[in-house]
Amino acid sequence: MTRMKRRTFLKTAGAAAGLAATGPFFHVRPARADKGELVVVSWGGDYDQALRDLVFPAFEKATGYTVKLDAPPETAKVKAMVQSGNVSWDVIMTDIPAVLTLVKDNLLEPLDYGALDKAKLDRIPKELQRSHALGQRIYSFNIVYNTNSYPAGKAPRSWADVWNGAAFPGGRTFNFQGGIEPQLEVALLADGVPIDKLYPIDVERAWKMYDKLRPLVSKWYTSHAQAIQLLGAGEAAVGCTIGPRGIAAKHGGAPIGVEYNQGKLASDNWCIVKGARNKKIAMEYINFAIDPKAQAAIAKRVPYGPSNGGAYEFLSAAEAADLNTSPQNIKEQFWQNVEWWSTPGPDGKTPRETQAERFATWMLKG
């Protein structure tokens, strides 16, 4: 997620984006990790500030290392960095689609789980503990709507409602580009497929639902920031975007509501870049970041779900109600099945690649 923000960095470059990422001639920033310094790369914004305030000080005090924060961990930059043999980043936080791409191209180090506290790991869902990535903050694709567009209590509560333009009028906004795959699971839920029978995805059935969605969409958004802006301004009445971003906008006074029912859960994860200089110290840093108390403190400030379930022992019921991993919200949602999206088909391409390409060509044929 937060893809939009990453995106804006490259937007200005246009076609030159390809050039800018060319080989070893463009060293992005002189953020070199010298001895005694750990370079952590995240997506910027409030979450980074929270890390800076709530995680880094304890880590720095315990280890004597200083943390340098950089942004954003574009997969293309990681690739350029590893290929040029000049790795200046240690730890990056990124989503599973990016992790899969990076693992496929052998651009990440495996994580040493033995270096992490077992008590902490026990409270983190197993699907978030991968060989090359450990879940930190949970985002989710949810029904997000403009509260002025629907009378109280009459907002869409399911994806079928979102697909129902007659009963729930107003423009829709769904993602296109920004590294986010088409919302095939959501389309199947709208067509009545049970939430526990989504995988393996019936691709053709999902695309038929996308054909039905097309005329309802007033704007295919390119970033989640844009989606929230469109929904807050009433340019779109309802859409599929990151629920926690909707909650943050709601807290900021925007006329936005979030429906967690039938949401798709996914994670931003800690990874270590291939060839990073401080692998050991990087694991130690991760151990601090997954601390339940630290995660609870972060969630109070930035409303993403903590990956460590223990965090809810440090949060009030009201605070938990707005978070997607709280006990009452998490059971209405489903985890995105990353294995389905990442298992190559007979042509050697993963569904993620195939569906992203299909999405682009589907859009152009419309």
Partner 1 sequence: MTEPRRGGLGLWRRGRRVWRPREGLLVLPALVFYILVYLYPLTRLLAWSFFDPGPTLKFYGALLAEPAYLKALSNTLEISVAATVLSLVLGYPLAYLMATSGARARSLLMALILIPFWTSILVRSFAWIVILGNNGIVNRTLLSLGLVSRPAKLLFDMTGVQIGMVHVLLPFMVFPLYGVMSRIDPNLLRVARSLGAPPRRAFAKVFLPLSLPGVAAGCVLVFLLAIGFYVTPALLGGAGEITLATMIDMMVNTLLNWGFAATLGVVLLAVVGVIFVLFSRLLGLHRLTAVGEEGAR
Query: What residues line the site for partner 1 (CB under 8 A)?
Result: 6-8, 10-19, 21-23, 25, 74-76, 79, 101, 105, 176-179, 214, 218-220, 222, 226, 229, 233-235, 353, 356-357, 360-361, 363-366
- CA angle (133 as vertex; 196, 275 as ends), nearest 5: 155
Minimum separation from the CB atom of position 358 to partner 1 (A): 10
For 224, the enclosing helix (H) or strand (E) is helix 224-233
Q: Of 104 and 208, which CB lies nearer to partner 1 in the complex structure?
A: 104
Strand ranges in the chain using DSSP code E only, listed in sequence order: 37-41, 66-70, 91-95, 108-109, 134-146, 172-175, 217-221, 238-242, 256-273, 305-306, 334-335
Which C-beta is closer to partner 1: that of 233 or that of 321? 233
Question: Among residues 102 and 311, whose Cβ is nearest to partner 1?
Answer: 102
For residue 242 the two structure tokens come to 């990151």
276, two tokens: 């990073």
CB 159 within 8 A of CB 295: no
Give CA–CA dist 245/250, Å, rounded. Answer: 9
C-alpha 108/C-alpha 81 separation (Å) is 12
Q: How far is the CB of 319 from partner 1 (least distance, A)?
A: 32
Which of 80/297 has CB closer to partner 1? Answer: 80
Q: Which residues pair with 334 in a beta bridge?
A: 264
- State the nearest-atom distance from the C-beta of 293 to partner 1, in Å: 36
Output the smallest distance, CB 51 to partner 1, in A.
24
Closest to partner 1 by CB, 19 vs 62, is 19
To partner 1, the closest distance from the beta carbon of 335 in angstroms equals 22
